[in-house]
Amino acid sequence: MHYFSSDFKLGILGGGQLGKMLLYETRKWDIQTKVLDTSKEAPCKIACNEFVLGSLMDFDTVYNFGKDVNILTIEIENVNTDALEKLEEEGVKVYPQPSALRIIQNKATQKLFYTDNDIPTSPFTRFAYTSEIEDSISNGGLELPFVWKSAQFGYDGQGVKVVRSVSDLEGLPNVECIAEQMVNFKNELAVIVARSTKGEIKTYPVVEMEFHPEANQVEYVICPARIDEKVAQKAREVALKVADKIQHVGLLAVELFQTQEDTILVNEVAPRPHNSGHYSIEASYTNQFEQHIRAILGLPLGNTDSKVAGVMVNLVGAENHTGNVVYENIEEIIQLDGVTPHIYGKKQTRPFRKMGHVTIVDEDMTRAREVAQKVKEKIKVVSKG
């Protein structure tokens, strides 16, 4: 099969920033693409060959979208898997596979999968409805504090809450959810595993994540993680085990906790290019988006090593700012060596909305981290006027 400047067509479910960055790679290789998204202002709308407006969760929409593509992939996991299964039965190649998406889409199912497969993860209880939690606390079945997670559709810090007292349950949606024991961790780490249709497997270096306290969004991603090589080795092994058990095809981003005792626990996974891999565009020999394309097309996987150290800063909307976006002081930050802003193209900012990211690369990690700090302090994502 020829993929380059040919009739081959890649379908992508979701047209957000991950899709947009994926399209840099399909453009680079002149691979034809067709994108489905719910918004006519989707960042992917231009740069794909064909754009279809519609719901990713609607069976008919997804099924009809996928019928005429050769390979179908995703940039967001909340899609209609029934339609994907039907397409798969009818011969469309779907990567990641619907079976993998089913495990990952639902956080309760995902956690059960870990325990069933001896993959280390924090203890949890599954509830059909949030309303069941209070009883469970009062009859001693569940101890405070814990982390409440909606089983489905959690994204960008939504659908996650630390519950320290019963009153914290107020206002939470009454949906299927899990209560996770809080992990007293030293570090949050992530490992991106690439696994191709041919079964070839490569891991990216272990990265270290720093989260924004309120927004529960990644504030800095640091590659390589400043951790002991033994811990890094353990992290890679756990990530590889997850990818192997899922028999995942494509990229699998595995978020991990490093406990005070240096145990590695799986937090959650994403079956696609991931925020924790954005640094790879500037820092790696093969960026995560090209790697995803290589994996799902069954091409040889690329070198996952880094050319230089990388730090990534998310650009999220400032608090108390909603409206037409303005990126303040962007000229100041691009004066600094090794600084590359990525603007996703969302015209409207909202508090904590992911609007872009900035990558800082340098031969020296300490310097990269210092520059990242300056970037973080200077740039502001605000609304006009």
**Cβ neighbours for 205, distance < 8 A, ≥ 6 positions apart:** 223, 224, 225, 232, 304, 305, 306
CB of 54 to a copy of itself, least distance (A): 20
Provide the binding-site residues for a copy of itself, judged by CB under 8 A: 2, 4-6, 20, 23-24, 27-30, 46-49, 285, 290, 294, 299-300, 302-303, 307-308, 325-327, 330-331, 334-335, 337-338, 340-347, 361, 363
CB of 340 to a copy of itself, least distance (A): 8
C-alpha to C-alpha distances, 115 to 111, 177, 224, 307, nearest whole angstrom: 7, 17, 29, 37
* Look-up of token digits 């990641």: 96
Q: Closest separation between CB of residue 195 and a copy of itself, Å?
A: 17
Q: Residue 90: what are its φ and ψ, rounded to 5°?
A: -85, 5
Amino acid at 53: L
Of 154 and 345, nearer to a copy of itself (C-beta) is 345
Sheet holding 50-53: strands in order across?
Answer: 50-53, 32-37, 9-13, 71-74, 93-94
Minimum distance, C-beta of residue 3 to a copy of itself, in the bound complex (Å): 9
CB 272 within 8 A of CB 292: yes
DSSP 8-class letter at 138: H
SS3 284: strand
Closest distance to a copy of itself from the beta carbon of 355 (Å): 8
Phi first, then psi: what are they for 67, rounded to 5°? -60, -35
Task: Report the SS3 class of residue 240.
Answer: helix
Measured from the CB atom, is 42 or 269 closer to a copy of itself? 42
Q: How far is the CB of 5 from a copy of itself (least distance, A)?
A: 5
211 vs 285, which CB is nearer to a copy of itself?
285
Q: Report residue 19: phi and psi, to 5°.
A: -65, -40
Q: How far is the CB of 46 from a copy of itself (least distance, A)?
A: 6
Residues 6+ apart with CB under 8 A from 237: none
Q: Give me the residue label for tokens 């960055």.
A: 21
**Vertex 288: Cα angle to 284 and 293 (nearest 5):** 130
Question: Which residue ranges are tagged as binding site for ATP?
Answer: 107, 149, 180-183, 188, 267-268
Positive/negative CA dihedral, 104, 110, 113, 117: positive
Q: Please name every residue paired with 254 in a beta bridge, in sequence order, or none if there are none.
A: 191, 269
Binding annotation: 107, 149, 180-183, 188, 267-268
What φ, ψ does residue 125 adopt, rounded to 5°?
-125, 140
Considering beta carbons, is residue 326 or 365 the nearer one to a copy of itself? 326
Burial class (CB in 10 A: 0-12, 13-18, 19+), 207: buried
